[in-house]
């Protein structure tokens, strides 16, 4: 992708990539456990109940698309996109369900490049949500979405039962 000293790719994850995404999910959930308090299961793993849905026809009907992020041909992260609104809004076209860039690649512009590519690839109404206690994620998404939209986004302070955190809403499309 242009605008970076690295070769960044956002590829739809195939069924052959599912194990890679599952493994990366453990690292991602370990990072998030600092904010959400999630514990390992009895097998020492974090559970994620929706991963398999990203490779089923029903999941695709729900707008679920899994992606692998590669930097210079090395696996660097993943993104899971769906249409399950944090706010219960049926008008929402796309939602970032999960977004993970490995620590090695953070603070190098990779996340922004991946987010922009995703937004350009799927025009429409977007939602991106962050857990209230994850200040780093909140700052990243505010800055990234502000830059992508030129400041044209809405931020909602969402409360349970739907979500406990912030949700940015905006319209995306090729620039």
Instruction: Work out the pLDDT band at 62, boundaries 50, 70, 90.
Output: confident
* The overall pTM is greater than 0.85: yes
Q: How far is CA 124 from CA 56, 57, 118, 127, 135, in A?
A: 23, 22, 11, 10, 27
- How does DSSP assign 44-89, residue by residue? S----TTGGGGGSHHHHHTT-EEEEEEETTEEEEEEEEE---TT--
- Residue 60's pLDDT band (cuts 50, 70, 90): confident
Structure tokens at 175: 């620039």
Flag whether pLDDT at 65 surpasses 90.
Answer: yes
Q: Using one digit for the tens of pLDDT, what is the confidence trace for 18-40? A: 999 999 988 887 776 666 656 66
Phi, psi of 73 (to 5 degrees): 70, 5
- Mean pLDDT for the chain? 90
Q: What local confidence, expressed as pLDDT, does residue 144 receive?
A: 98
Residue 85 CA: distances (Å) to CA of 17, 88, 97: 26, 5, 9
What confidence category does residue 58 fall into, taking pLDDT thresholds of 50, 70 and 90?
confident
């Amino acid at each position: 992708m242009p605008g970076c000293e690295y070769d960044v790719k956002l590829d739809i994850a195939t069924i052959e990539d599912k194990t890679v995404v599952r493994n990366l999910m453990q690292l991602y959930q370990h990072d998030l456990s600092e904010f959400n308090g999630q514990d390992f299961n009895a097998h020492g793993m974090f559970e994620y109940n929706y991963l398999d849905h990203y490779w089923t026809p029903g999941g695709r009907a729900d707008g679920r698309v899994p992606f692998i992020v590669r930097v210079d041909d090395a696996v660097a992260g993943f993104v899971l996109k769906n249409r399950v609104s944090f706010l219960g809004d049926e008008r929402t076209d796309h939602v970032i369900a999960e977004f993970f860039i490995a620590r090695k690649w953070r603070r190098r512009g990779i996340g922004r490049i991946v987010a922009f590519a995703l937004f350009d690839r799927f025009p429409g109404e977007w939602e991106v949500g962050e857990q209230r206690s994850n200040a780093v994620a909140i700052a990243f998404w505010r800055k990234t979405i502000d830059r992508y939209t030129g400041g044209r986004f809405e931020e909602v302070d969402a409360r349970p039962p739907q979500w406990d955190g912030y949700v940015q809403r905006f319209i995306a499309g090729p620039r």
